[in-house]
Structure 1
């Protein structure tokens, strides 16, 4: 895993994105935020489980389905199963070690 700081790669409402094996963050101080980094590392694990390409196909498919359902991009993003799992467990710093395989399915 590599952490890259680059404020130009991210849209204005995003502080970080995971593109395995990289975590791209908007500001250097985010690298020291344990909760934020745990959230992003949960996404790393999800991407590996779905062999990267299937993660992104699923992510964007689910986003567009939820966008059609809610008509709101923020709501659609927050309802994606990968985001729901990451937000629900970001404060649990030991979660990734105990996380069951494909646990994001519990957040559909």
Structure 2
């Protein structure tokens, strides 16, 4: 389910997924199939890890990457979850053939 909220989406971003919802900064973004697919990939990741373990894993991995890269943005884009989503967002059929826990391949 997609909602529009400029208040929930962090500054500098156009969308965020908080299971089971996708929040986008404005209604025009609902037409952006690539962005919506990116966020749907995150929904699948969150569901696989029973939501809470997704967020725990996300924070721990981000802290490790922050130490490694010493830059918050570089840490973010190098997270396994984000790498999987960014590399497959243009493939609108990706989720149909995606294997379980595929994000581990992006560690």
Offset of residue 8 of structure 1: 1.0
The SS at the match of 1:23 is strand
* Alignment partner, residue 49 of structure 2: 50
TM-score, normalization: structure 2? 0.98
* Alignment partner, residue 79 of structure 2: 80
* Alignment partner, residue 19 of structure 2: 20
Offset of residue 13 of structure 1: 1.1
The SS at the match of 2:84 is helix
Aligned length: 107
Q: Distance in 1 between matches of 2:57 and 2:29?
A: 27
Unmatched 5+ stretches in structure 2: none
CA-to-aligned-CA distance 1:4-39 (integer Å, 9 cap, x gap): 100011221111111111001111111110000000
TM-score, normalization: structure 1? 0.97
Q: Distance in 2 between matches of 1:101 and 1:83?
A: 16
RMSD: 0.6
Moved runs in structure 1, 4+ residues, more than 6 A? none
* Alignment partner, residue 2 of structure 2: 3
Unmatched 5+ stretches in structure 1: none
Q: Distance in 2 between matches of 1:43 and 1:9?
A: 16
